[in-house]
Amino acid sequence: MSLETISENRSCGGVQGVYRHASDATGTDMTFGLYLPPAAQRGPVPVLWYLSGLTCNHENAMTKAGAQEHAARAGLALIFPDTSPRGEGVADDDAFDLGQGAGFYVNATEAPWAPHFRMWDYITSDLPKLVLDNFPLQAEAQGITGHSMGGHGALTMAMRLPDQFRSVSAFAPIANPTESDWGQKQFGAYLGQGREAWRAHDASLLMAEQGYPGEVLIDQGSEDQFLDLLKPETLAAAMARRRQPSVMRMQRGYDHSYFFVNSFIGDHVDWHAERLKAKG
């Protein structure tokens, strides 16, 4: 796959790049951000994937989360993928929570989404192959995190692919999408009305059925305006029943915004760095 450099900027002693490539998974051009810390000048480094939420693209967390400073200190690379395929000929919807900007990190099987909305394959296979071939990253030391829709993606990918994602955390994840309007609508559109296919993309159900072999870190704002859609209590109950090693923090006074993510991103970067360096 060819790789086009859109921009590269010095940041915290490292380099924040933005790149474009033709994706085999989505059949479209895709854009992503990648931060390489100063340590990458000396050799391959562990990598943390950050999956963004509804309406976002690669730029939101890259410019608002303030993660580069923490990643530079920890010697960790950061990857900021887009949240969906985009462009002419890609299906879309007038609603903000379906279509472009709302891929939900699944492989769509239903028309008109199936030809391009294959974000599960894009994040777990297509983009990893590209970045591991072109940048100094440790394939055996990958962690994953995300916010809201991206937290949903991070948790489900880590639980289903624990050998690939050796550490996991989430900010305000959509924790029980099969029982939420943020999930039922999108899964019905992308995966069809057969609810059995939805189960593989519900963090609470996956936690109850199989859990995660490592530890899980989750931060949730107590004043999040979308708490009824996110359903963190369902995931917390599943972790408690399973006795999953985890840290789940209800952060008093914080909402769903990037001010919340920015406030705790340093803790998450350190969480992943500790675990990935032990395994890398």
Of 252, 260, 267, nearest to 222 (Cα)?
252
Of 176, 218, 219, nearest to 198 (Cα)?
176
Residue 224 annotated in active site: yes
Alpha-helical regions (H) of 75-221: 119-121, 127-134, 149-160, 181-191, 203-209
> Of 70, 180, 224, 268, which is the active-site residue?
224
Q: Which residue has the tokens 């394959």?
A: 121
Q: Tell me how far apart the alpha carbons of residues 146 and 153 are, in angstroms, rounded to a whole number.
A: 7
Q: Is residue 126 within 8 Å of 81, Cβ to Cβ?
A: no
> Of 70, 116, 152, 256, which is the active-site residue?
256
Beta-ladder partners of 167: 143
Q: Is residue 46 within 8 Å of 276, Cβ to Cβ?
A: yes
Residue 152 annotated in active site: no
> Of 148, 167, 180, 204, which is the active-site residue?
148
Length of the chain, in residues? 280
Residue 272 annotated in active site: no
Residues annotated as catalytic (active site), given as ranges:
148, 224, 256
